């Protein structure tokens, strides 16, 4: 890759993890958005999906807290009620448009209970189309499950290989890849089990990234936090999660990577914010980290705004206010300045 290309990719990547900013994951698939809409009584129609995303993207001042938004294929093709493509709406807010490009995690052959993400076929052509639509970055999610006898080495390595091939194609197209190897929070496993699975996953992912000639200065890592299973009997506290996570990252992530944008992965909104804040506070005590540590949340930013909106335009203003509040809380967490009292005063 030529120096000028690396410089451009690195510039975009650093913009994506700018201080006090993070990334909104608004890339729910049809099945996921259907489940979330249904849970709060919203009819799952194309018009409602469009109106919901417009409500989020047009919140006044969202660019103060968000650097980018990951969209779904349907969303990047949609327009706001005044006729502007959503990519343009985001750009006018000072937010980079991004696009999810994987086609979902499917059952992995001969590996019961494990998944392998698909979507490499035809990806080069799809990427060219997304560039024309205004996308500046992309995302691909791999899924790693902890259970009896899993994850297996073959599942970790297969997903790492696919993530690296995806990242190479994205950089070839001139966009920044978000690489998302997610060790799921589902289960009763301990934080130590999660640490070992995450360590192995990140080691394999960056080994494959090197083999595929992917430039680490031009990518963003979107990992899980190292956390106890959500059904574990004794879940680790906030500061322990932060400490384990930072140790795991320092052992695996090259210093050349501009930033790490965590997924919330089934945590509550405040839990995800508190964990991010503790990481940045501990990082400051350590004298800093080689990369920015920020957020790329979906439910942890959207859950309460969605429940407030309920598909009713008359609720849009209040839903936007709540959305901006959650974005601001995570902006503070990115700086290690989050205070739970701000939550109470805003309730």
Instruction: Give catalytic residues, as residue numbers.
Output: 180, 222
CA–CA gap between residue 10 and residue 12 (Å, rounded): 5
Residues paired with residue 179 on neighbouring β-strands, in sequence order: 140, 221
**Which tokens sit at 75?**
């969303």
Contact criterion met (CB below 8 Å) for 82 and 92: no
3-class SS of residue 260: strand
3-state secondary structure of 284: helix
Beta carbons of 294 and 20 less than 8 angstroms apart: no
Tokens matching residue 222: 């979107």
Query: How far apart (Å, rounded) are the C-alpha atoms in residues 334 and 328?
Result: 10
- Cα separation of 178 and 170, whole Å? 9
Q: Which of 62, 65, 49, 110 is nearest to 89 (CA)?
A: 62
Rounded Cα–Cα distance for residues 318 and 305 (Å):
8
Question: Please, what's the b/e burial string for 107-121 (b: 16 or more CB within 10 A of its CB; e: otherwise)?
Answer: ebeeeeebbbbebee
Measuring CA to CA, which residue among 26, 28, 95 is closest to residue 60? 95
First to last CA, the chain: 50
Sort residue 325 into left (φ over 0), alpha (ψ -120 to 50) or beta: alpha
Contact 283, 340 (CB under 8 A): no
- Residue whose structure tokens are 């994850």: 151
């Amino acid at each position: 890759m030529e120096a000028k290309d690396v410089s451009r990719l690195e510039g975009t990547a650093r913009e994506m993890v700018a201080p006090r900013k993070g990334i909104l994951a608004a890339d729910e698939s049809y099945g996921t958005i259907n489940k979330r809409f249904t849970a709060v009584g919203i009819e799952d129609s194309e018009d409602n999906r469009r109106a919901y995303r417009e409500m989020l993207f047009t919140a006044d001042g969202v660019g103060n807290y968000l650097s980018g938004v990951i969209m779904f294929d349907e969303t990047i093709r949609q327009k706001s009620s005044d006729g502007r493509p959503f990519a343009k709406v985001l750009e006018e807010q000072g937010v980079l448009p991004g696009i999810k490009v994987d086609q979902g995690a499917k059952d992995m052959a001969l590996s019961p209970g494990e998944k392998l993400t698909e979507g490499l076929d035809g990806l080069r052509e799809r990427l060219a189309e997304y560039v024309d639509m205004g996308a500046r970055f992309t995302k691909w999610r791999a899924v790693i499950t902890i259970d009896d006898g899993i994850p297996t080495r073959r599942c970790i390595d297969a997903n790492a290989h696919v993530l690296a091939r995806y990242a190479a194609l994205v950089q070839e197209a001139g966009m920044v890849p978000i690489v998302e190897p997610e060790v799921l929070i589902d289960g009763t496993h301990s934080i130590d089990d999660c640490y070992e699975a995450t360590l192995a996953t990140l080691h394999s992912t960056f080994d494959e990234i090197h083999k595929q000639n992917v430039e680490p200065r031009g990518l963003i890592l979107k990992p899980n936090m190292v956390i106890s299973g959500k059904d574990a009997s004794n879940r680790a506290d906030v500061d322990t999660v932060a400490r384990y996570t930072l140790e795991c990252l320092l052992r695996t992530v090259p210093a050349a990577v501009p930033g790490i944008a965590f997924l919330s992965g089934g945590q509550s909104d405040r839990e995800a914010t508190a964990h991010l804040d503790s990481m940045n506070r501990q990082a400051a005590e350590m004298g800093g980290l080689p990369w920015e540590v920020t957020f790329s949340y979906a439910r942890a930013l959207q859950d309460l705004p969605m429940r407030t909106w309920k598909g009713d335009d008359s609720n849009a203003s209040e839903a936007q206010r709540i959305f901006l509040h959650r974005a601001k809380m995570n902006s503070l967490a990115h700086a290690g300045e989050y205070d739970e009292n701000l939550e109470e005063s805003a309730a």
